Chains A and B, each alone.
Chain A
Amino acid sequence: MNMKLLKTGKNVKTDLFNFSFSRSTTLLETSIKTNGLAQLPYGIVVHDSIQIYEGLKRYTIALELGLDIDIIVKELSIKEAFLEKIRMSSTKYNPIECAAILTFANTHHIDYDLFIKYLGINIENAAAYLKLLTLPLSIQQKTATEPEFLKVSQLLLPKHEKDILEIYDIIINYKLNINQSYELCQIIDELRLKDASFKLDSLLNLEINSANSAQEFMTHIKHIRYPNYMQLKSVLNNALKSIKSSHIRFDYKDNFESDEVSLTASIRAPQDIEKIISELETNKNVITKLLSIIKRGTH
Chain B
Amino acid sequence: MSLIKHILINNTVADKPYTLQILSRLKHVPIVFFDEPNFQSLKNTYDYEHTLLLTNLKGELLKDCPGTQCYSCCGYKILNIGANCLYKCTYCILQDYFKTKMQIVYADLEEYIPSVLEQLRNNSNSLFRIGTGEFTDSLILDDITHLSTLLIDLFRPFQTVFLELKTKTLCIDNLLSIKASDNAVIAWSLNTPRMIKDIEKGTPSLEKRLAAAKKVVDHGYHVAFHFDPIILYPNCLSEYENVIDMLFATIPADKIKWISMGTLRFTKGLKNNFYQRSPLFIDEFIQCNDNKFRYLRHRRVEAYACILSKIREYAPLVYTYLCMESPAVWTEVFGYKHNDNVIFENDFNAQVFKR
Given A232-B296, A296-B298: A257 touches B288 (CB 8 Å cut-off): yes
Are A297 and B282 in contact, with the CB atoms below 8 A? no
Q: Distance (Å) between the CB of A185 and the closest chain B CB?
A: 12
Residue of A nearest to B287 (CB): A255
CB pair A255 B289 closer than 8 Å? yes
Given contacts A190-B282, A193-B275, 8 further A-B contacts (CB under 8 A): A186-B272, A190-B275, A226-B284, A227-B284, A257-B286, A257-B297, A295-B297, A297-B299
Which residues of B have CB within 8 Å of A225?
Answer: 284
Question: In the complex, which residues of chain A have a beta carbon less than 8 angstroms from the beta carbon of B276?
Answer: 193
Which of B275, B279, B297, B331 interacts with A256 by CB under 8 Å?
Answer: B297
Contacts of A227 on B, CB cut-off 8 Å?
284
Residue of B nearest to A253 (CB): B289
User: Can you report 24 A-B residue pairs in the complex whose CB atoms are below 8 A from each other?
Assistant: A186-B272, A190-B282, A193-B276, A225-B284, A226-B284, A228-B296, A229-B286, A229-B296, A255-B287, A256-B286, A256-B297, A257-B286, A257-B289, A257-B326, A257-B328, A258-B289, A294-B297, A295-B297, A295-B298, A295-B301, A295-B332, A297-B296, A297-B297, A297-B298
Contacts of A4 in B (CB 8 A): none
Are B298 and A299 within 8 A (Cβ)?
yes
A229 to B297, CA, bound (A): 10
Looking at the complex, which one of A229, A255, A259 makes contact with B288 (CB distance below 8 Å)?
Answer: A255
Binary CB contact string for chain B from 284 to 320 against chain A (1 if under 8 A, 0 otherwise): 1011110000001111010000000000000000000
Give the chain A neighbours of B279 by CB distance below 8 A.
193-194
Bound CA–CA A259/B284 (angstroms): 20
> Are B328's CB and A258's CB within 8 A?
yes
**Within 8 Å CB of A257, what residues of B?**
286, 288-289, 297, 326, 328
A-B residue pairs, 3 tightest by C-beta: A297-B298, A194-B282, A255-B286
Given A190-B275, A295-B332, A256–B282 Cβ distance below 8 Å? Answer: no
Question: What distance in Å separates the Cβ of B213 from its nearest Cβ neighbour in chain A?
Answer: 34
- Contacting residues, chain B, for A299 (C-beta < 8 A): 298
Q: How far does the alpha carbon of A256 sit from the alpha carbon of B298 in the complex, in Å?
A: 9
Interface of chain A residues 230 through 261 with chain B (CB within 8 A): 232, 255-259
Interface magnitude class on chain B: 10 to 19
Residue of B288, B299, B326, B328 ringed by the most chain A CB atoms within 10 A? B328
Q: How distant is the Cα of A296 from the Cα of B316 in the complex, in angstroms?
A: 25
B276, B288, B297 pick with most chain A CB within 10 angstroms:
B297
B282: A residues at CB distance < 8 A: 190-191, 193-194
CA distance A259 to B298 in the complex (A): 12
For B288, what are the chain A residues with a Cβ–Cβ distance below 8 Å?
Answer: 255, 257
**CA distance in complex: A186, B276 (Å):** 12
State in angstroms the CA–CA spacing of A255 and B332 once bound together. Answer: 17
Among A194, A257, A258, A296, the most chain B Cβ lie within 10 Å of the Cβ of A257
**Pair A229/B298 contact, Cβ less than 8 Å:** no
Mark out the residues of chain A between 188 and 204 whose CB falls within 8 Å of any chain B CB in the assembled complex. 189-191, 193-194
Q: Which residues of B are found within 8 Å of A226, using beta-carbon distances?
A: 284
Bound form: Cα–Cα A190–B273 in Å: 11
Complex Cα spacing A299 to B148, Å? 47
Per-position binary interface string of chain B over residues 144-161, scored 1 when its CB falls under 8 Å from any chain A CB and 0 otherwise: 000000000000000000
A195 smallest CB distance to B (angstroms)? 8
Contacts of A256 in B (CB 8 A): 286, 296-298
CA distance A227 to B346 in the complex (A): 40
Would you give the 0/1 interface string for A82-110, flagging 1 where the beta carbon is closer than 8 Å to chain B?
00000000000000000000000000000
Which of B284, B287, B328, B332 is close to A228, meaning CB atoms less than 8 Å apart? B284
Within A210-232, which residues are at the interface with B (CB < 8 Å)?
A: 225-229, 232
Contacts of B287 in A (CB 8 A): 255
A231 to chain B, nearest CB (A): 10
- CB <8 Å contact, A259 and B328: yes
- Residue of B whose beta carbon sits closest to that of A259: B328
How far apart sit A53 and B185, CA to CA, in the bound complex (Å)? 75
Which residue of the partner chain A has the closest CB to B328? Answer: A259
| Residue of B with least CB distance to A297 | B298
Closest-CB distance, B287 to chain A (whole angstroms): 6
Bitwise interface map of B from 243 to 282 toward A, beta carbon under 8 Å scored 1, else 0: 0000000000000000000000000000010011001001
Nearest chain A CB to B264's CB is how many angstroms away? 15
How distant is the Cα of A186 from the Cα of B275 in the complex, in angstroms?
Answer: 11
The minimal Cβ–Cβ distance linking A233 to chain B, given in whole angstroms, is 11
Residues of chain B within 8 A of A295, CB atoms compared: 297-298, 301, 328, 332
Assembled-state Cα–Cα distance A258/B297 (Å)? 10
Q: Tell me, rounded to whole Å, the shortest Cβ–Cβ distance linking B34 to chain A.
A: 27
Smallest Cβ-Cβ distance to B288: which chain A residue: A257
A190 to B284, CA, bound (A): 11
**C-alpha gap A256/B285 in the complex (Å):** 12
B138 → chain A closest CB, angstroms = 32
What residue of chain B has the Cβ atom nearest to residue A296's Cβ?
B298
- In the complex, the chain B residue whose C-beta lies closest to that of A258 is B328
- For A194, the chain B residues whose CB sits under 8 A away are 279, 282
Alpha-carbon distance between A225 and B275 when the two chains are bound, in angstroms: 13
A255 and B331 CA atoms in complex are apart in Å by 17
Q: Complex Cα distance A297/B303, Å?
A: 13
With a 10 A CB-CB cut-off, give which of B275, B282, B331 has the most chain A CB atoms: B282
- Closest A residue to B277 using CB positions: A193
Please, how many angstroms separate the alpha-carbon atoms of A259 and B331 in the complex? 10
Q: A294 CA to B329 CA in the complex, in Å?
A: 12
Alpha-carbon separation in the docked complex, A227 to B299 (Å): 13
In the assembly, what is the distance between CA of A232 and CA of B301, in Å? Answer: 16
Nearest A-chain residue to B286, judged by Cβ: A255
Least Cβ–Cβ distance between B58 and chain A, in angstroms: 28
In angstroms, Cα B331 to Cα A294, docked, is 14
| CB-defined contacts of B272 to chain A, threshold 8 Å | 186
The docked-state distance in angstroms from the alpha carbon of A258 to that of B70 is: 11
Could you tell me the distance between the alpha carbons of A295 and B37 in the complex, rounded to whole angstroms? Answer: 54
A228 to B285, CA, bound (A): 10
